[in-house]
Amino acid sequence: MLSVRRLLALLAAGVLVAAAACGSGSDDKGDNAGGDGGQKGRTLEVPGDYKTIQDAVDAAKDGDLVLVSPGTYNEAVTVETDDIVIRGLDRNKVILDGQFKLDNGIRIAGAKGVAVENMTARNYTKNGFFWTGATGYRGSYLTAYRTGDYGVYAYDTTEGLIEHSYASGSPDAGFYIGQCYPCDAQINDVVSEFNGLGYSGTNSGGELYITNSTFRKNRAGIVPNSGSYELCYPGRETVIVGNLVYSNNQPDTPAIDTALLAMGNGILPAGGTHNVIERNRVWDHDRTGIGLVPFPEDDPTDVVPPPSQDTTPCGETKNQAPPDASKVPDTVIWNPRDNRVVDNVVEDSRLADLAVGSTEDISQAGNCFAGNTFKTSAPKNVETLAPCEGKGSGDWAAGALDLGSLIAAVHPPSQDYKRSPVPGPQENMPNAKDAPARPAAHPFEKPDVDSITVPDKPA
């Protein structure tokens, strides 16, 4: 889809300019083992060698490390060079500040293998850290807060890892991975709070893992969904394991419409298929702890594809002509299908600990529940109705999830993201000054999710 020739031409021009511009102050200063790619690169220091991060990024070549000293940088950095690492020396003191005027802290546009480490982005009108159109990406020890769209955002991007990071104060999601199948990506050991959604991912999945993380005090916790307003629908095959998900009823966060609609739910795959939700600890939610619910889409661009297309790779659907508008209804409903909810510990949900609902025959939807610790469900006895092994039995109408009441509740309006709480200091990357640069050519490794147990409640 993307013009490789144009990119090559631009890169060639950029490299030539960079080579001419950085003759001084860009000596080899470190043995930055290339990590995945085994490259060796230079260290480009900011502001020592280059006054701005953008200047250093523009001068960088494959394998280089852009090393940023403490300071506040009022920049919106765009990265178009493959396989570079951008690292702050101190996560809490290297601060990109958009002053509520700039759009993205760091935007990686099509560049492969770019890693961003150990810094903070705040006060951006769009996103803190944003990868798009890339293959290979990594974000480590990042903090994003007070961002007008997402905190850490990967879109139309595959083969990634987001780890040891923190996001708060976004009206959409603190962390987001969208429009990819297979995604080949993992979010691991992150904290997301005071956002509209702790995690969101539209039309993403396939080797996509959300693990060992904390989603708390958002409007809603983990909310993957489907929708034809982005490509590569439906959302599918997201694996959510070993997370702490609690108190996602926060009334005073910024929030987009979907976050308002989803408020008060812990893990809420909305219209997704073949998601796996295992061994999470979920508590204190005004509505459901774990809910499999429909996602209604008004004014869609397409109809819901049949299950036979569930495994169609994203790349095969990108360059299709828009559907005939006369054949698309005013509203489509993405119902949950074939999701698996197993061995979670769920408590203190005011509507239901476990829930499933559909506008179609839910008994035939293939969703299953087993081994969970819970007290309430909608419908009642959901593990008997929809076991993961064998045939279910019982009355689906008994205590059925009331979708109307679920969505009709009125919620406190969105608050200004510019006034979201300022987080405290976050953990620094070890040895940021001397650690070798590791571009993110292939950062994704399939996690051993079977080894992940239900996490304990925090003290």
Partner 1 sequence: MVPRRLARLVAGLLLVVAPAGLALAGCGGSSGDSGARTGGDGGLGNAGEGPDDAIPSDTIKLTGKDVRVLAMDNAFRAPDIEVKAGTKVTWTNRGHNDHDVLPTRGHAWGTSKAGMTPGASYSETFDRPGVYHYYCSIHGTTAQGMVGTVVVTK
Task: Give per-residue burial for 33-63: e unless 16+ CB within 10 Å, then b.
Answer: ebbbbebebbbbbbeebbeebbbbbbbbbbb
Output the smallest distance, CB 178 to partner 1, in A.
8
Q: Which is nearer to partner 1, 69 or 414 (CB)?
A: 414
Dihedral class, residue 183 (left if φ above 0, else alpha if ψ from -120 to 50, else beta): alpha
Output the smallest distance, CB 248 to partner 1, in A.
18
Output the smallest distance, CB 288 to partner 1, in A.
16
Output the smallest distance, CB 311 to partner 1, in A.
20
Output the smallest distance, CB 388 to partner 1, in A.
26
Q: Which is nearer to partner 1, 245 or 314 (CB)?
A: 314
Q: Which is nearer to partner 1, 227 or 242 (CB)?
A: 227
Q: Which is nearer to partner 1, 131 or 215 (CB)?
A: 131
Q: What whole-number distance in Å separates Cα of residue 206 and Cα of residue 275?
A: 9
Tokens 């508590």 — which residue?
Answer: 283
Structure token digits, residue 216: 């708390």
Q: Which is nearer to partner 1, 364 or 451 (CB)?
A: 364
Q: Which is nearer to partner 1, 33 or 403 (CB)?
A: 403
Output the smallest distance, CB 292 to partner 1, in A.
15
Task: Report the sign of the C-alpha dihedral through residues 48, 50, 51, 53, in that order.
Answer: negative
| Cβ neighbourhood burial of 3 (10 Å; 0-12, 13-18, 19+) | exposed
Output the smallest distance, CB 45 to partner 1, in A.
25
Task: Report the sign of the C-alpha dihedral through residues 431, 437, 440, 444, in that order.
Answer: negative
Output the smallest distance, CB 260 to partner 1, in A.
6
Q: What whole-number distance in Å separates Cα of residue 57 and Cα of residue 46?
A: 10
Output the smallest distance, CB 95 to partner 1, in A.
24
Output the smallest distance, CB 322 to partner 1, in A.
5
Quick one: which of 277, 281, 201, 190 has its CA closest to 240? Answer: 277
Output the smallest distance, CB 80 to partner 1, in A.
6
Q: Which is nearer to partner 1, 10 or 370 (CB)?
A: 10
Q: What ranges make up the beta strands (E) of 64-149?
A: 65-68, 71-73, 77-79, 85-88, 94-97, 104-109, 114-124, 127-132, 135-147
Q: What whole-number distance in Å separates Cα of residue 186 and Cα of residue 166?
A: 15
Contact 126, 109 (CB under 8 A): no
| Cβ neighbourhood burial of 456 (10 Å; 0-12, 13-18, 19+) | exposed
Q: Which is nearer to partner 1, 320 or 364 (CB)?
A: 320
Structure token digits, residue 144: 């994003």
| Cβ neighbourhood burial of 319 (10 Å; 0-12, 13-18, 19+) | exposed
Q: What whole-number distance in Å separates Cα of residue 408 and Cα of residue 74?
A: 42
What is the binding site for partner 1 (CB under 8 A)? 1-3, 5-7, 10, 78, 80, 103, 109-111, 126, 132-133, 149, 155-156, 178-179, 202, 228-231, 256-258, 260-261, 294, 296-299, 301, 318-322, 325, 330-331, 333, 359, 403-404, 407-408, 414
Q: Which is nearer to partner 1, 104 or 214 (CB)?
A: 104
Q: Which is nearer to partner 1, 1 or 20 (CB)?
A: 1
Q: Which is nearer to partner 1, 318 or 446 (CB)?
A: 318
Q: What whole-number distance in Å separates Cα of residue 73 and Cα of residue 160?
A: 26
Q: Which is nearer to partner 1, 211 or 258 (CB)?
A: 258
Tokens 């220091």 — which residue?
Answer: 45
Neighbours of 434 (CB within 10 A): 9
Report cis status (omega within 30 of 0) of the bond before 413. no
* 158-168 and 65-68 strand pairing: unpaired
Output the smallest distance, CB 136 to partner 1, in A.
14
